[in-house]
Amino acid sequence: MIKKGTGMACMFYPNGSTGKANPAGAFIKINHDGTAVLNIGATDIGQGSNTCMAQIAAQEMGLKLSQVRVVTGDTELTPYDAGTGACRVTYIAGNAVQKTARKAKRLLLDAAARKMGLIHSGQLVIEEGEIFLRYWPAKRMTIAEAATYSERILGQPIIAVDSYSPATMPLEEESGQGMPFEVSIYATQIAEVEVDTDTGEVKVTKLVAVHDCGKMLNPMLVEGQIEGGVVTGIGYGLYEQIIEDPVEGGIRNPSLATYQIPTSLDVPEDMVIDCVEIPEEKGPYGAKGVSEPTCNPTAPAIINAIYNATGVRIRDLPATREKVLFALRELERKEEG
């Protein structure tokens, strides 16, 4: 018999590591042709951080995305970064990039003000490769001109360096007090499952994932991160387990045929992904992060849905067919008395 059920799980998840320094650095240089080179330690492992970091730099300095070249993934050339993990890149490296881009922008505006004969750059706007006077837009020059003027005439190349590390406080051992994380991310996921009570097979038929990642800097990337995380969470909840050999030692299923990750057929067609965009005031343009916690609430939501469908509570992941089937039989026996 097929039994249907729904389950929910909520979570919060921190950005960065617990109560420790967690820095990211950035260098920016603006060339004479108005293009920029952004040099960061944060590594893109497919989540799209290079795009996001370039977006932040471009936005801040009034450049087109295509005018920012990102150099990354080489510790010989790039500043230090604590690594791609714990959902920290958008927030921490993003803040470093924004701070650095602001410095570069300041240099550009100062140079432009000098060139235009202004004594203060406060009324200058930088947008789409150009710098102009807010209430007199005809008074304008290109970023390329400002950068060249700054370097050639003022003797100040447009180069900027900065870094960011979240403000945290180590936990005090006795009281447990402190500030482990600067910001946290929140999410809720709801899973709908079908449990086949004859085979123990669990199928996730629908999954709703709603995340608060602050302002989405790139909605398509955010969506991709959540979809990928949810599917990893399905694997964690239902299929994936490392089987150790208790006698010989070693791992008994060291291949993709025996260690099973979800395939396209294990993914619910009905996946609803949404974001609650509550801007995080400390994040770059209000962003926090999204990726790592996307797979956290999935397995608990599935386990709750199995309970809702059948009354059995699986306490040991993954909820394989055998486990579900044994638990169902156990429950039957108990009910029979």
Partner 1 sequence: MSEKVAVSLKINGKEVTLLAAPEQNLLRLLRENGYVEVKCGCEEGDCGTCTVLLDGLSVKSCVTPACACEGREVWTAAGVSRQERIGRLLRDNFAKYGASQCGFCTPGMMVTGVNYLMNNGVPDRQAIRAAISGNLCRCTGYKKIIDAIYHTAQELRRETAGEGML
Residues found near partner 1 in the complex (CB under 8 A): 45-48, 220-221, 223-224, 227-232, 255-257, 261, 263-265, 267, 269, 271
Helix axes 94-116, 49-61, angle to 10 degrees: 30
| Residue closer to partner 1, measured from CB, 43 or 310 | 43
Known catalytic residue: 292? yes
Which residues have a Cβ under 8 Å from the Cβ of 314 and sit 6 or more positions away? 303, 306, 307, 323, 324, 327
247/265 with CB nearer partner 1: 265
Residues 243, 245, 249: CA angle, nearest 5 degrees: 125
* DSSP-derived pairing of the beta strands 270-275 and 202-212: parallel
Residue closer to partner 1, measured from CB, 37 or 271 = 271
Please give the sequence-ordered ranges of beta strands (E in DSSP) within 31-151, or none if there are none.
Answer: 36-40, 68-71, 124-127, 130-133, 136-142
Residue closer to partner 1 (CB basis): 1 or 265: 265
Which two structure tokens, joined as six digits, stand for 330?
């156990």
Phi, psi dihedral angles at 244 (to 5 degrees): -90, 150
Helices (H) and strands (E) in the chain, counts: 6, 11
Per the residue annotation, which of 244, 277, 292, 335 is the catalytic one? Answer: 292
List the catalytic residues: 292
